[in-house]
Amino acid sequence: MNNALVTGGAGFIGSHLAETLLHSGYAVQIIDDLSTGSVENISHLKHHSRFSYVFDTMMNRPVQLELIRQADVVFHLAAAVGVNLIVDDPVKTIETNIKTTELVLEYCARESKPVLLTSTSEVYGKLAQPKFNEGDDLVLGPTSNSRWCYAASKIIDEFLAQAYFKDKGLPVVVVRLFNTIGPRQTGRYGMVVPRLVKQALSGEPITVYGDGQQSRSFGWVGDVADAMIRLIGHPQAYGQVFNVGHSDEIPILQLAQMIKEKTQSSSPIEFVPYDHAYGTGFEDIPRRLPDLKKIQQLIGYQPSLDLPAMLDRIIAFSRQHMEVPVT
Ligand code: UDP
pLDDT of residue 325: 46
Give the other-Cβ count within 10 Å of 159's Cβ: 10
pLDDT confidence tier of residue 323, bands split at 50, 70 and 90 = low
pLDDT of residue 107: 98
pLDDT confidence tier of residue 185, bands split at 50, 70 and 90 = very high
How many residues make up the chain in this entry?
Answer: 327
Maximum distance among all Cα pairs of the chain, rounded to whole angstroms: 59
Give the mean model confidence (pLDDT) for residues 108-130: 96
Q: Is 214 in the pocket of ligand 1 (CB under 6 A)?
A: yes
Quick check: helix, strand or coil at residue 135?
Answer: coil
User: Are 3-181+218-244 and 192-216+248-286+305-321 the same fold in CATH?
Assistant: no
pLDDT in tens, 279-321: 777 788 899 999 999 999 999 999 999 999 999 999 999 999 8
Pick the CATH number of 192-216+248-286+305-321 from 3.90.25.10, 3.40.190.10, 2.60.40.1930, 3.65.10.10: 3.90.25.10
Residue 191 CA, ligand 1 centroid: distance in Å: 6
State the pTM of this model.
Answer: 0.95
pLDDT of residue 176: 98
Give the mean model confidence (pLDDT) for residues 61-71: 97
Ligand 1 atom closest to Cα of 190? 19
pLDDT confidence tier of residue 87, bands split at 50, 70 and 90 = confident
Q: Is 162 in the pocket of ligand 1 (CB under 6 A)?
A: no
pLDDT of residue 327: 41
Assess contact for 185 and 128: CB atoms under 8 A. Answer: no
Rounded CA-CA distance 142/148 in Å is 7
Residue 27 CA, ligand 1 centroid: distance in Å: 35
Domain range summary for the chain, segments of one domain joined by +: 3-181+218-244, 192-216+248-286+305-321
Q: Is 198 in the pocket of ligand 1 (CB under 6 A)?
A: no
80 closest CA partner among 158, 174, 149, 140: 149
- Partnered with residue 298 across adjacent β-strands are none
| Ligand 1 mutation target, pool 147, 252, 269, most atoms within 8 A of CB | 252
Residue 122 CA, ligand 1 centroid: distance in Å: 12
Q: Is 76 in the pocket of ligand 1 (CB under 6 A)?
A: no
In 249-321, DSSP assigns E strands to 250-251, 269-272, 287-288
Domain spanning 3-181+218-244 has what CATH number? Answer: 3.40.50.720
Half-sphere exposure of 249 (CA within 13 A, CB side): 15
- Rg over CA atoms, the chain: 19
Rounded CA-CA distance 30/55 in Å is 8
Give the mean model confidence (pLDDT) for residues 97-126: 96
Q: Is 290 in the pocket of ligand 1 (CB under 6 A)?
A: no
CB neighbour class for 321 (10 Å; exposed up to 12, middle 13-18, buried from 19): exposed
What type of residue sits at position 218?
Answer: F
Q: Is 190 in the pocket of ligand 1 (CB under 6 A)?
A: yes
Rounded CA-CA distance 141/158 in Å is 18
Residue 153 CA, ligand 1 centroid: distance in Å: 20
